[in-house]
Amino acid sequence: MSEATAIAATPAVRQVGGDRTYKWRHLLEALLAPLIALLAAVALFSVFLLTLGQSPADFLDLVWRGAFGSWFSLQNTLQRAAPLLLTALCVALPGQLGLVIIGGEAAVVLGGLAATVVALPLIHTNPLLVWTVMAIAGAAMGGAWIGLTGYLRARLGVNETIASLVLAYIGMAIFNHLVEGIFRDPASLNKPSTYGIGDDNMLGTVPWLDVHPGIPVGVLACVLCWVLIYRTGIGFAGRVTGGNIRAAQLQGLPVARLIILASALGGACAGLAGTIEVAAELGRANASLAAGYGYTGILIAFLARFNPLAIMPMAVLLGGLGAAGGLLQRRMGLPDATVQVLQGMIFVSILASDTLYGRIRWFQPRGDT
Amino acid sequence: MHRHPVVSRRTVLGGLGAAAVTGLAAQPAQAKDLVIGFIYVGPKDDYGYNQAHAEAAAMLKKMPGVKIVEEEKVPETDDVSKTMESMIKLDGATLLFPTSFGYFDPYMLKMAAKYKDIQFRHCGGLWQKDKHPMNTGSYFGYIGMGQYLNGIAAAHATKSKKLGFIAAKPIPQVLINVNSFALGARSVDPTITTTVIFTGEWSMPVKEAEASNSLADQGIDVITCHVDGPKVIMETAERRGIFACGYHANQAKLAPKGYLTGAEWNWITVYKQFLADEQGNKPLPNFVRGGLAENFIKMSPYGPGLNDAGRKNVDSVKAEIMKGGFAVFKGPLKDNKGNTVIAAGKAFPETAVELESQNYLVEGVNGAIA
């Protein structure tokens, strides 16, 4: 699917003769396909609810109220979406080069741990300095971790999906070993944690919003990555690699270096997600960092077809489902797994909608080309 | 984590808004009903830690003047803050029971500072009078005694004199249980050994099944555990034809032949007490603890695998414990590396704070903490 993605997601590249509205029709196609898929998933899920004797209308009403219907709900949704923006980039950036990397979770926890550890000697200095150092350390750690997967792929030909998954288990084990070992605050008896970075060094919330700076950082990262992919030469080289790696090699593109770079950049994003979790929420590194953000990020990146701008609405969608999940349990007595069933249906139907591209003639280039 | 000057103004505004929203949201649930929120870290039907709480919540639900709202599988991240806030704002909950250990700091404390009129009671025993606000508190039970009784039962059932313990993490709470189990068994027969396996996670069924099989392969014929959901361990033990002692909740259904007895939480005692205080407009206690004698924990009914001698032995020690002051940990006590950890003449009953930083495995336990 990577080839189809790379081509379909690049409207600007294709110049088609006199067909002036093609660019807009193409964009419309890219928006409509997932929307129709979403509606199909909801329809399918409604049938599922009806067989359980539950009302789909109540369900949708609760999803709306729990995710977007009030100021509190909206903030709840955004807060949940924040780390997902960055972890989705960890999948989407290498995804542009045709790689499927699923080990972002380890980059999140190790990035968070590295950021905490380097901050500890500095906690009595200036918070700005602490945050800068933390961000660099977290991003570097995450980048190195996923970059390693990229290296194994590019230089040794190891399958990156398996490598990143196995490295994720190893990363988690290293994390647990360090947090329960040399970096452990002896006072954290029943929940092993590192020493804290101190209240003075915690990131506050964004002014006027009860969400932490993960949202602006994540949005900025998505926009920057979009520019990198679609508006720079190196991004173009990456997309060519994703489209056809042999052709890219034939053109003399530095394919191996591009693969390592994209992996490392993706990993840096995930490491940053871990850093922000520590600096904005946890104040220390512990098992709470392994909350599954890395795995949800995979889902979002695929839903967004590896387009960084599309990651934003998809992260909000999944953040919203997470936010509404609690209300669904409380009001309808549905188990937590219900939301996972819906997520699964959305995932499958959006992936299936890939086959819609190019099928409807109206969206295709016309005229004498 | 509010510390920007601009935030304090917003917090005030938010507080006003919250008051308005709470007033509105409380209406659908009969004005006089007390809304209580329960939050669980795992599924409500895990045959373990979460089920023990959910069973008590289900009993509470049947009492008049109460409305229970529940949420399962809430991770120990900011998600739980949002769940608490959502229960307060959208359901009108005024008393919250976040039941998982990691919910306390910073999440529950943060919410307690933001919603000063809401009562928060946390399961875990972390509350300290000089450190934490008065609208928070904690409750916990001394379940180590239950594992001691499990150990006695196991000692009567074992033929190989080898017992197994599958534990989540080598933290004090878990170590107390491992050591209590081993000491209970050794009180019957000092030649009995207990092999402990740490899985590293509170809930990881695959590793737990592997550990159960590996223990059975070593000739171990009774196992028990301290993980969040003992389901797979009990089922594996039954399939392998060995005995099992339960933990957290009653797992007899999963191992009808091999289940000897089990150490169970009896949370309804605690929740009823909080409810009575709240409905009687009395201030809720901030620090609540109890053991077998206080009915905070209970033992599962005996299974067919436990002979009469074993039943009598467990019954008599239990009667001893009910009198109060019983000490499992008393000197001279050596750890499994040969160091003396409790000097002769010293004894620590279950309430002793010294036990809460336990960092050793006692003599007769095969395994290592780090």
Does A343 fall in a domain? yes
Average per-residue pLDDT in chain B? 90
Q: What is the pLDDT of residues A45-63, one digit of tens each?
A: 999 999 988 999 999 999 9
Residues of B in contact with A105 (CB under 8 A): none
Is the four-CA dihedral A234, A235, A239, A240 of positive or negative sign?
Answer: negative
- Assess if residue A259 is contained within a domain: yes
- In this complex, which of B70, B85, B102 lies closest to A191 when CB atoms are compared? B102
Contact between A341 and A335 under an 8 Å Cβ cutoff? The reply is no
A79, A292, A336 member nearest B82 (Cβ): A79
Share of chain A above pLDDT 90, in %: 72
* The pLDDT value given to residue A364: 82
Give the DSSP H or E segment for B243. Answer: strand B243-248
**Residues β-bridged to residue B333:** B342
Q: What is the pLDDT, as a whole number, of residue A26? A: 83
Cis preceding-peptide flag for B205 (omega within 30 of 0):
no
Nearest by CB: B2 against A190, A205, A208: A205
Place of tokens 């299974």: B303
Longest dimension (CA), chain A: 75
pLDDT tier, A190 (very low <50, low <70, confident <90, very high otherwise): confident
pLDDT above 70: residue A141 = yes
CA angle B217/B220/B222 to nearest 5° reads 130
Residue A141 is assigned to a structural domain of this protein: yes
DSSP letter, residue B227 = S
- Is residue B109 pLDDT above 60, yes or no? yes
Q: pLDDT tens digits for B300-332?
A: 999 999 999 999 999 999 999 999 889 999 989
What's residue B4's pLDDT? 43
Structural domains in chain B plus CATH codes? 5-141 (3.40.50.2300), 144-263+299-366 (3.40.50.2300)
Say whether A329 and B106 touch across the interface (CB within 8 A). no
Q: Find the helix or strand (DSSP H, E) in which B165 lies.
A: strand B162-167
Mean pLDDT, range B228-254, rounded to an integer: 97
Q: Yes or no: say if A229 and A239 are a contact pair by the CB < 8 Å rule.
A: yes
**B120 has which bridge partners?**
B96
- Is residue B290 within 8 A of residue B296, CB to CB? The reply is yes
Cα–Cα dist B108/B105, whole Å: 6
Q: How far apart are CA A72 and CA B22, in angstroms?
A: 12
Residue B210 CB coordination number (10 Å): 16
Question: Which residues of chain B have a Cβ shorter than 8 Å from any chain A Cβ?
Answer: 1-4, 6-7, 10, 14, 17, 21, 43-44, 69-79, 82-83, 85-87, 89-91, 101-102, 106, 124, 169-173, 200, 356-357, 370
A16 in a structural domain: no
Q: Is residue A42 part of a domain?
A: yes
Give yes or no for residue B27 having a pLDDT over 60: no
The residues in A 70-89 lying below 8 A from B, measured between CB atoms, are 70-73, 76, 79-80
Q: Residue B77, SS3? A: coil
Residues in contact with A232: Cβ distance below 8 Å, sequence separation at least 6, in sequence order: none
Q: 3-class DSSP state for residue B192?
A: coil
pLDDT, average across residues A319-333: 90
Proportion of chain B above pLDDT 90, given as a percent: 85
Alpha-carbon distance of A274 to A115, in angstroms, equals: 8
Domain total of chain A: 1
Indicate if the pLDDT at residue A13 is higher than 80.
Answer: no
- Asked if the structure places residue A29 within a domain, the reply is yes
Show the domain range for A245: 2-10+21-363
Neighbours of A163 (CB within 10 A): 20
From the list B1, B43, B91, which residue is nearest A336 (CB)? Answer: B43
What radius of gyration do chain B's Cα atoms show?
22
Asked if the interface predicted TM-score (ipTM) of this complex is over 0.85, the answer is no
Nearest Cα of chain B lies from the Cα of A320 at a distance, in angstroms, of: 12
Which residues make Cβ contacts (< 8 Å) with residue A248, sequence separation at least 6?
A: A237, A240, A241, A255
Q: Say what the pTM is.
A: 0.85
Residue A329 lies in a domain: yes
CB A261, CB A97: distance < 8 Å: no
* Confidence grade of residue A15 (pLDDT, cut at 50, 70, 90): low
CB contact under 8 A, B356 and A189: yes
Q: Is A294 part of any domain?
A: yes
- pLDDT per position as a tens digit, B157-181: 999 999 999 999 999 999 999 999 9
pLDDT of residue B61: 94
Let me know the angle formed at the C-alpha of A100 by A97 and A105, rounded to the nearest 5 degrees: 120
More confident residue, A291 or B29: A291
